[in-house]
Amino acid sequence: DIQMTQSPSFLSASLGNSITITCHASQNIKGWLAWYQQKSGNAPELLIYKASSLQSGVPSRFSGSGSGTDYILTISNLQPEDIATYYCQHYQSFPLTFGGGTKLELK
Amino acid sequence: QVQLQQSGAELAKPGTSVKLSCKASGYTFTSYYIYWVKQRPGQGLEWIGYIYPGNGGTYYSEKFKGKATFTADTSSSTAYMLLGSLTPEDSAYYFCARQGLPGSWLFAYWGQGTLVTVSS
């Protein structure tokens, strides 16, 4: 199985700032990487797929990058509605696996 | 629009089973995979597996083989997951989700989740 390691697990940031979350895969996933946002009490929502493609309706302050085993989610100009937990997920092969999550809080 | 409506919360005793439902609307039910995901409160996401309603094909992640059983009723556009031999470790939220574009293994649309509590 491909293991997905996210860092940091917790992140505190101020409104208007930019943040980055990293996701490391235990083997080359060839860009088959998605990011999800989960707000408290809700189901996750797809933000980014194929490492850098923005899902329809997702604000452009979200962006993704990376290749091979290492990927980054960047949120620019942090807004109050961005407070959530973020998960990466690979879809290179079965089983599909998620990272452990990064909880984003306001400083 | 695509919607997945899940059944309500369940309280079950250890050793019993529960059957969760996920009613789909807004698209052709038989054309997309339905996934199931487990999330213990305050914890991360675990993929249980999928069912393809078009032909009833299923896949179970190794950890959930023997624990979960997927079925689908195409007449009502509803997917089901049976969880058997329940233990307290099965207490969690369970989400159904639909794949994105055909051929993509993305969780593009999600149900609201069903909370299962296993307690004597």
Per-residue pLDDT reduced to its tens digit, A20-79: 999 999 999 999 999 999 999 999 999 999 999 999 999 999 999 999 999 999 999 999
Q: What is the pLDDT of residue B102?
A: 77
Query: Which pLDDT band, with edges at 50, 70 and 90, does B62 fall under?
Result: very high
Q: What is the pLDDT of residue B120?
A: 95
Residue of A36, A96, A97 to mutate for B, most B C-beta atoms under 10 A: A96
SS3 of B63, please? Answer: helix
Residue A100 touches partner B, C-beta closer than 8 Å: yes
Q: What is the pLDDT of residue B104?
A: 86
Summarize the confidence of residues B19-47 as an average pLDDT: 97
Query: Which pLDDT band, with edges at 50, 70 and 90, does B103 fall under?
Result: confident
Q: What is the DSSP string of B66-104?
A: TTEEEEEETTTTEEEEEE-S--GGG-EEEEEEE-SSTT-
Shortest CA distance from A51: residue in chain B: B106
Backbone angles phi, psi at B30, to 5 degrees: -80, 0
CB contact under 8 A, B106 and A43: no
